[in-house]
Amino acid sequence: MKIRVLGSGAGGGFPQWNCNCHNCHRLRHHTMNGKARTQSSIAVSTDDKNWLLFNTSPDIRAQLEAFPAIQPKEGIRDTGIKAIMLIDSQIDHTTGMLMLREGKPLDVYCTDMVKQDLTTGFPLFTMLEHYCTINHHPVPVDGSSFTIPAIADLRFYTQALKSKAPPYSPHRHDPHEGDNIGVIIEQISTGKKVFYSPGLGEIEPHVMAAMQDVDCLLVDGTFWTNDEMCTQNISHKKAREIGHLPQYGAGGMIEVLSGVAKARKILIHINNTNPILDDDSEQRKILDAAGIEVAYDGLEIDL
Ligand code: MLT
Ligand code: MN
Ligand code: ZN
């Protein structure tokens, strides 16, 4: 299977439009060695032709224009996107649906909780019915597997994660299973597996078991430390409070990944405050030494 990283940044992207933090400032002024990043999305295919889109970022238009394999090939209207899977209902993962309104019926796979958010607090699905049909396919949260007819050689297993529904959600302060999922994507013909989870607040035993079982990890790389937005005077929000396990320190993602033997380890959904965006940083050297990569827009993984 091929995995294309369409967007490797967290909400806001890098640089963020109104941000003058150490990273955003230096990237804009060409005084740091690093790459700009669009907001969080990947695409997966087993034939380079039919693609499953994970999440629809507000940057989707530029992401698709930068990726010829997914562009129109035949007829007056065409796309390589055969289905969409939403892993939560966060703004950075869903707003791009509006940009897909010219599409034919859109086959969207998401949990019932995500569908509920997208028909109430942020009624994207309801709005889009006036432009195109949304065929909602419910995604199970009990670990059972399912397939998607248009991309027949892939099988999916989901993991319910401990995280939070978005700030706009009617049940923001009342967590439900299915607010946020991690997904194991398996190619049936080869048995190769990847675990995709850009928002991981806590590594529960079932999540660790999933991580041990796969060939490649694309996991939460949002923050280096729990208080990085506080110390930079950007926000009072701590990483763990908003559902992201920081990388550095006791119990952090680096320590978690040191317990994973076989998988290629890649961090994704990097926030613009994270020092690992500087390719020459000390923090990047720590990741290098731990065998952990940092995703960038356009990265392609062949499994
Ligand atoms: C998050 O994952 O916490 C988001 O990136 C927040 C956002 O989209 O503003
Ligand atoms: Mn996000
Ligand atoms: Zn910034």
CA distance 236 to 234: 7
Over residues 179-200, the pLDDT tens digits come to: 999 999 999 999 999 999 999 9
Over residues 221-265, the pLDDT tens digits come to: 999 999 999 999 999 999 999 999 999 999 999 999 999 999 999
- The angle subtended at Cα 207 by Cα 290 and Cα 175, nearest 5°, is 125
> Does residue 272 have its Cβ closer than 6 Å to ligand 1?
no
Over residues 122-179, the pLDDT tens digits come to: 999 999 999 999 999 999 998 899 999 999 999 999 999 987 899 999 988 899 999 9
The overall pTM is greater than 0.95: yes
- Residue 37's alpha-carbon distances to 17, 183, 237, 272, in angstroms, are 12, 23, 22, 9
- The first and second tokens of residue 54, run together, are 């994970």
Given a contact cutoff of 8 angstroms between Cβ atoms, the answer to whether 96 and 58 are in contact is: yes
Specify the ligand 1 atom closest to the Cα of 11: 5
Please give the helix or strand (H or E) that residue 134 lies within, else none.
strand 134-138
Torsion from C-alpha of 125, 39, 185, 72, nearest 10 degrees: 70
> Does residue 90 have its Cβ closer than 6 Å to ligand 1?
yes
> Does residue 10 have its Cβ closer than 6 Å to ligand 1?
yes
> Does residue 62 have its Cβ closer than 6 Å to ligand 1?
no
> Does residue 242 have its Cβ closer than 6 Å to ligand 1?
yes
Residue closest to 300 by CA, chosen among 38, 13, 45, 64: 45
pLDDT at position 162 is 86
Given a contact cutoff of 8 angstroms between Cβ atoms, the answer to whether 184 and 214 are in contact is: yes
Between the CA of 11 and the centroid of ligand 2 the distance, in Å, is 5
Torsion from C-alpha of 46, 112, 39, 70, nearest 10 degrees: 30
- The first and second tokens of residue 280, run together, are 């020459």
> Does residue 240 have its Cβ closer than 6 Å to ligand 1?
no
Between the CA of 10 and the centroid of ligand 1 the distance, in Å, is 6
> Does residue 66 have its Cβ closer than 6 Å to ligand 1?
no
Mean pLDDT of 270-291: 98
CA distance 303 to 300: 10
- The first and second tokens of residue 159, run together, are 């993991």
- The first and second tokens of residue 5, run together, are 């990283």
* Mean pLDDT over each residue of the chain, to the nearest integer: 96
Q: Which ligand is nearest to the CA of 21?
A: 3
Say whether pLDDT at 104 is over 90: no
Q: Whose CA is nearest to atom 4 of ligand 1?
A: 11
CA distance 51 to 247: 31
For the sheet containing 300-302, what is the strand order? 134-138, 106-110, 81-85, 51-54, 41-45, 2-7, 300-302
Between the CA of 164 and the centroid of ligand 2 the distance, in Å, is 11
Residue closest to 81 by CA, chosen among 114, 56, 115: 56
